[in-house]
Amino acid sequence: MITVLQLARSNVAPIWFTSVMGTGILAVTIAGSPIALPEQAALATTLWLLASSALAALVALLVASLVDDPSRLFGTYLDPSAMQAWGAPPMACFTVAVGALTIGRHIIAPALAVHLAQGLFILAVIGAVGLAFLIPFLMFTRHQLASEATSATWLLPIVPLIVASVPSALLIPSWPSALQSAMLALGYAMWGCGITLAAIVIVLHYARLVEYRVPDGALVTSVWLVVGPLGQSIAGLNALDGVAPAVWPAPAPMLAGIGLAYGVAIWGFAAYWLVMALALTLRTARSGLPFALGWWAFTFPVGVLTAGTYSLATLTGSAFFRAAGIVLLSLLTLAWVVVAIATARSAFAVAARAGAYRDDGSIVVYRP
């Protein structure tokens, strides 16, 4: 009989890493809350440890699955929808890296936390840059895609370039002084490339929604993905601007001004789209919204917008952004609880059925 571990090993997919992203960003935003929260440090630490453990487990499962049957995972690149999810593993690594620098350094040796973040950052940058080229290249040359197939999931392989900006900024002081200017330039360059590509996809996605209406059922969750690059671009640019004075003192004031102006302007669009995504989801839920791992899109985009709002509250001292950050954190927490419970229930249901699967070639393969 097939075991639960064998079932997970034979069905692990990149989209599973979205659970790490959602859990990790909740940890980071709780730790960075502008107001004191009950058991704040304990909650943030527990969630970061959970995200870190999940990341390690999923990486192990992914490697084992590749060893068992490389064609299954590499075959996802033949599917223009499935291949988009490969953007999740680098973003999961970036998120855990940020947690290591902001939360982990208080529970493990600071030097170890920095080395962990550096390792995750390097691996994730390689993956982010590679996927940002590979996935669009395959879409341009291999797949025949109609305009109706346009989806916000196309953001997944390019948003890691933007997500890299926060750990990039946090790690600047840890690099040798001779490398700091290059690493800061890399952070800004990835941010610029990612937000430009994201803007193109967002425009295409808007046009698709106008022409072909909102996706049905669980696919409506993809609408939330637009919030991700918007919120992350605010947090990332302000983080880079925050370390620029120590590396590029001359242009730093100008960069800070640009970052603040950009952040306030884009925050308005991000808030607008968040309300739109919520309205479209509630409308779809009336006729049924079956659980899928795509539900984790309710968490990470809201989380990075929360982090971006925190940065604006710090830069402006505005009570408005401070209050907005708390509201967003509350929404994120609620979304995480709902999605985590739904995920656990689905996982237990699959595990309960696993004993009925026979390891004789007639296995019923579960695919989320």
State the average pLDDT over residues 94-120. Answer: 97
- pLDDT one-digit tens code per residue, 230-285: 999 999 999 999 999 999 999 999 999 999 999 999 999 999 999 999 999 999 99
User: Are the beta carbons of 325 and 34 closer than 8 angstroms?
Assistant: yes
pLDDT digits (tens, 9 = 90+) for 166-187: 999 999 999 999 999 999 999 9
Kindly tell me if the per-residue pLDDT of 153 is higher than 80. Answer: yes
CATH number of the domain at 176, please.
1.50.10.150
Q: Is residue 360 part of a domain?
A: no
| Within-domain flag for 83 | yes
Q: What is the pTM of this model?
A: 0.93
Residue 67 lies in a domain: yes
Structural domain count of the chain:
1
Chain-wide mean pLDDT for the chain?
A: 92
- pLDDT recorded at residue 128: 98
Please spell the DSSP secondary structure of 107-174, one letter per residue. Answer: TS-HHHHHHHHHHHHHHHHHHHHHHHHHHHHHHHHT----GGG--GGGGTTTTHHHHTHHHHHHHGGG
Helix (H) or strand (E) holding 15: none
Q: Is residue 243 part of a domain?
A: yes
Range of the domain at 312: 4-354
Residue 333, pLDDT score: 97
Pick the most confident of 80-84, 158-162, 348-352.
158-162
Domain presence at residue 364 = no
CA distance 238 to 255: 9
Q: Which amino acid is at 22?
A: G
Q: Is residue 366 assigned to a domain?
A: no
Residue-level pLDDT at 3: 66
